[in-house]
A = this chain, B = another copy of it.
Amino acid sequence: MDSKPTLKDVAALANVSVSTASKALHHTERISARTQRIVFAAAESIGYRKSNEGRPTRAHSGLIGLVTSDYNGRFALPMLNGAESTLGASNHAALLMSSRGSPSLEKSHIDQLAAQGVDGLIMIQDTTGPRDALSLSETRGLPVIYAYAPSSDEDDCSIICDNVGAGFQAIEYLLSLGRRRIAVIAGTESFQASKDRVEGALRAFRYYDEQAVDIMYDIWSEEWGEHAALSLLDRFGDVDALYCLSDEIARGAIHGIMQRGLSVPKDVAVIGHDNWFVFSTNSHPTLTTFDNNIETIGKISAQYLIDAIHGHPHHGITTVECPMIVRESTEASRKTPLQGSGKIFSHNSKRRGR
């Protein structure tokens, strides 16, 4: 097909009237599920994209659907809180459903949300690797925002953490403290979060003409952090800082350092990642760490979804800065902490891509 496919092409292929095809694609009226599926399949097969020009005005339900793959709620609840605070201002309510990481449950939840008449969807992941883009027929043509993990289709709108920026900032900060023998203890190598944070760290080492003592990968556990720290101290007696890619790893690393009779941060400074209170503030030394800023991701996702619902969609990946929160594990003699929550370093969001 040479020219851009039109609504007429979709209608002809689906063997329905142009008016029915339009109603099905824009959810303006109740159309049978079978007809809707046929029209979406036809639209998809010829690469038809809805234009916002001339789009029939549709009554908004005021409902937004959130579907999360997060099982324990660490990501879903802050995301919901952020989204609610933005949606409340525009009289929308958020309907959170839980897919427990099951693609088939995710699909049936989207169907159920579409049946409830939601105006749009926010898909929440609990890991940072790109996820499969949803097809037009899967989303029933509803606008979608991908939160925490990006969509595999870069034309989609995704809101994610700036893990590369966090990795850069971690190393830059440790260097500013005068540390020169810095090692990185990462989690699972195949995880995007490991890749991005390590990439950021390496950029900082190069930028400041320094080198990492070592970069070790294994799993996201406290035991691994302890094992890795012991191994590093045994091989490089002069290690003076550890950048750990999760709070659990950092907590284990601190135990390892203490087992060797060394102190944190005097002998070895330690940085974690995630600002998970269980590990970052519930023990001593409290952890310097990066906050994933999930609530802000929820807010921006909701704002961008409202924009899309009103015919002004965003595209590409938007990254949100993870603020670094400085606590006892890197600063020996702290002044009074800010409300016990540590100092927050810079906090804003920026745009990457288009």
- Residue ranges of A at the interface with B (Cβ–Cβ < 8 Å): 62-63, 68, 70-78, 80-81, 84, 88, 93-98, 100, 112-113, 116, 221-223, 248, 277-279, 282-284
Contact = CB atoms under 8 A, between A and B. Distances in A.
B63 A282 contact: no
Number of copies of this kind of chain in the complex: 2
Given A73-B73, A93-B97, 16 more contacts: A62-B116, A63-B95, A68-B77, A70-B73, A70-B77, A72-B277, A73-B78, A77-B98, A80-B97, A88-B112, A93-B112, A94-B96, A94-B97, A222-B282, A222-B283, A278-B278
B100 A81 contact: yes
Contacts of A76: 73, 76-77
B77 A248 contact: no
Nearest to A96: B96
Nearest to A95: B95
A84 B72 contact: no
A77 B84 contact: no
Closest 3 CB pairs of A and B: A73-B73, A73-B77, A96-B96
Contacts of A284: 223
Contact of A282 (B73, B81, B221, B277): B221
B81 A77 contact: no
16 contacts: A62-B116, A63-B95, A72-B73, A72-B77, A73-B73, A73-B74, A73-B78, A76-B76, A80-B97, A80-B98, A81-B100, A84-B98, A93-B97, A94-B95, A222-B282, A278-B279
A248 B75 CA distance: 21
Given A63-B116, A72-B77, A73-B73, A95 B98 contact: no
Contacts of A75: 73
A158 to B, nearest CB: 22
Nearest to A112: B93
Contacts of A68: 77
A277 B98 CA distance: 19
A129 to B, nearest CB: 21
Indicate the member of A62, A113, A278 with the most B CB atoms within 10 Å.
Answer: A278
